[in-house]
Amino acid sequence: MSDANKYTGRLAGHYVDLERFVQAIYESTQPFAELRSAAETLPLEFDIDTAVGVQLDAVGERVGVSRKLKTPLEGVYFAFDEDEVGFDEGVWKDDYDPSEGMVSLDDEFYRLVIKAKIAANSWDGTNDTLDDVLSIVFNEKIGTYASANDNQDMTMTIGLSGKRPTPILLELLTKGYLDVKPGGVRIDYYITATEDGPLFAFDVENEYFAGFDEGVWGEMHKVEEE
C-alpha cells in the first residue's frame, strides 16, 4: 500500500482490507507523522557543526555574531601567480563583496567565528582552562592548534602550530574576530609557523612545539588595535 505510515501499520487485521478506512486513517495521521519527522531533524539542522545557510545564521544570531563583517578581509580573493591565494587557498569573490575586501563569511569560517564567541562566553577567564577553551576553535577539525602566553602586562600572545592558517583565517585572527581572551586583556600577536608543523622551541615536544629537525620557525602577525 502506497498510503501507509506507522499509524496505518498498527491497525488491527480486521481493518487492513478496508481501503477507504485505511485511507482515512492515513490522511488524518500523515501530517502529524511528517511534523514528527521534521522535528527529529531539527537538532541536526541547528547543530553548530552541521548547520548551513539560514540555519547557521539563526545559531549565530542567538550566540551574538553575524556573518557580515564590520571590517573587510583583505588579500583573500583567489588570484593567479600570488602566494597563498591560488587554488584551494584563495576564496571566490561574492557578487556583493566590494573589490577591496570580503565582507561576508561562508559557512566554514562563520562557524569558526561562532565557536570563538561561544568559547569566550563560556570561559571562566583563568589560565588553567584557557587551553581547553582554545581547543573549541583550534583543533583537529581545522588542523591548527593554539597555545597562549600570558605576557603579564594585560596582553596575550597566541602561538599557532599544525596546519598553517589560510589567508582568510589569518585575516580573521588579526582583525580580532576569533579572539578568546578575558575582559580588559588584549591579544598583541599571533605567531604562526612558516610551514605546516609545530613551532620551534627548546626542551618541548608536543603538538604545539618541537625542537631541531621537527619544529619550524614562526612569524609574528600583529593584531589590529580595537
- For 78-87, the pLDDT digits (tens) are 555 555 544 4
- Reduced to 3 states, what is the DSSP secondary structure of residue 55? helix
Q: Which of 125, 170, 121, 167 is nearest to 146 (CA)?
A: 170
Residues of the chain with pLDDT below 70 are: 1-2, 74-102, 225-226
What SS3 class is residue 193? strand
Whole-prediction pTM value? Answer: 0.72
Task: Give per-residue burial for 194-212: e unless 16+ CB within 10 Å, then b.
Answer: eeebbbbbeeeeeebbbee
What pLDDT score does 167 carry? 82
Domain layout of the chain by residue ranges: 8-44, 127-226
Distance CA 131, CA 226 (A): 23
pLDDT value at residue 222: 92
Quick count: other Cβ atoms within 10 Å of Cβ 99?
7
Helices (H), 46-106: 53-63
pLDDT at 99: 65
Query: For residue 214, what are the contacts with CB-CB under 8 A and spacing of at least 6?
Result: 197, 198, 205
**In the prediction, which pLDDT does 209 show?**
87
